[in-house]
Amino acid sequence: MLGVLMRQLLQRVDRFIRSEDGPTTVEYAVMLASIIIVCLLSINTLGTNTKMSFTNTANSIGSSVPKTNDVKFSKVLILDRHP
């Protein structure tokens, strides 16, 4: 029984490899793998660039915010409290 099933399985594999479906399937698998690799690399690069952009923006905002002991900032706070 097991020998018959194994023989049938091997015959099906042999037919699949000899037919055009086998190489076509392999070609599609290679193309799909290539597309996935390109997409992952693009996403990685985009993520890195986006992170750098947000970091630069945060740093520039942080450096432009006045400190609480700044004289100009204190005067603005006093003027805002007493209209």
Residue labelled with tokens 């597309």: 35
Q: Are 10 and 17 in contact (CB under 8 A)?
A: no
Q: How confident is the model at residue 42 (pLDDT cuts 50, 70, 90)?
A: very high
Range of the domain at 24: 2-81
Tell me the two tokens of residue 24. Answer: 């076509």
Please, which pLDDT band fits residue 41 given cuts at 50, 70 and 90?
A: very high
Q: Based on the structure, what is the number of domains in the chain?
A: 1
When pLDDT is cut at 50, 70 and 90, the band that residue 75 belongs to is low
HSE toward the beta carbon, residue 37, CA cutoff 13 A: 6
The amino acid sitting at 48 is T
pLDDT tens profile 45-69: 999 999 999 988 888 887 766 565 5
| Cα maximum dimension of the chain | 97
Both tokens assigned to 43: 């996403």
Q: Which amino acid is at 69?
A: N
